[in-house]
Amino acid sequence: MPSSDFRITPRMTSRLAMSNLQNNIEKLNKIQSQISSMKLIQKPSDSPVGMVSAMHYRSDMGRNDQVSRNINDGLSWLNLAGDTLGSVFTQLQKVRDLTIQGANATADPTAREAIATEIDNIKSTIVGLANTKNLDRPIFAGTATGNIAYDAAGNYVGKTAVIERSIAPGVRMQVNVNGDEVFGPAGNDVFTMLTKLAADMRTNPSQLSTDTASLDSRISGVQNSIASIGARSNRLETMKDRNSMDGLTLKQSLSQVEDVDLAQATMELSLQQVAYQAALQTTAKVIQPSLVDFLK
C-alpha cells in the first residue's frame, strides 16, 4: 500500500502544471511552424523514416532532371541535323533538275557554263550546311575539336564517332550524325560528285547521265539519314513524355511524405489552441496563492 506520508506539495503541483503547459505550447508552436512553412518534416527528428524516404525521392528527382536535360540536348542535336539535311536534300534536288536541263541536247556551251557555275555555288551552300553548329560545335564533325566538319573544298576534317546521351536508367542513344555517313566517304562523297558534275557539264556532257545516277544515290542516302533521324527524334519525344510523367510522380510522392495537409493541420491547430486555452484556465485554478505567498 502507498505510504500515508507521501504528499503532493504545492511546489510539485506547480511544476507539473507548468510542464504540461509548456508541452502544449511546444505542440502549438510546432503546428504553427508546419503551417507557415508548409512542410511536415523540418528536421530529421520529426520523422526519421520520412526523412530517409524524402532523401531517396530527391535523389531520384535529381536523376530524372539530368535525364530530362540529356533528352533535350539530344533533341537539339537531332532536330537541327534533320532540318539541315532537309535543306541539303532541297539543294541536291535542284542540282538534279539542273543536270537534266544541261543534259538536254539543245543546251549550248554557254548555257552549260551557267549551269556549272550554279552547281559550284550550290556546292558551296551545301558545304556551309555541312558545317552547321549546335552550341558552337559542328553537328556533323563527330568528336573533332575543330570548328568545321568540312573545309572549303568539301574535304571531311571531322572525326567519325558516336555521341550518346543517357535517356533512361541504363539506356543510351546516339544523338549525332557523322558527316561521312551522310554525305558519303572521302572520294565518293557529295562534294566530289558535285565537282565532277560541274566539270562534266562544262567539258564532257556525255557523262551527265552517269552523274545523274550517282547524284540519285547520294540523294537517297540523305533521305535515309533524314528518316533515321526522324525515328530517333520520335523515340526521344516518347522518352521525354515518359520522363516528365516520372518526374511528376516523384514530386507527388515527395509531397505526400514531407508536405503539410493544410486542411488537417488547420484543424489540429484549432484543437491545440482550444487545448492550450483550457490548460491555461486549469493551471490558473490549480496554482492558487498560498499562505507563504502572503507572508513574503
Structure pTM? 0.75
Q: Give residue-wise pLDDT tens across range 164-195.
A: 999 998 999 999 999 999 999 988 999 999 99
159: β partners = 142
Report the alpha-carbon distance of residue 64 to residue 254 in Å, rounded: 14
275: β partners = none
Q: Give residue-wise pLDDT tens across range 32-59.
A: 676 766 776 767 776 788 788 888 888 9
Query: Among residues 296, 142, 119, which one has the least CA distance to residue 215?
Result: 119
What residue spans define the domains of the chain?
58-255
Identify the CATH class of 58-255: mainly alpha
Report the alpha-carbon distance of residue 275 to residue 25 in Å, rounded: 10
Which portions of the chain are predicted below pLDDT 70?
Answer: 1-14, 17-18, 20-21, 25, 28, 31-32, 34, 36-37, 40, 42, 46, 105, 259, 261-263, 265, 269, 272, 276, 279, 282-296
Tell me which H or E stretch contains 99. helix 48-103
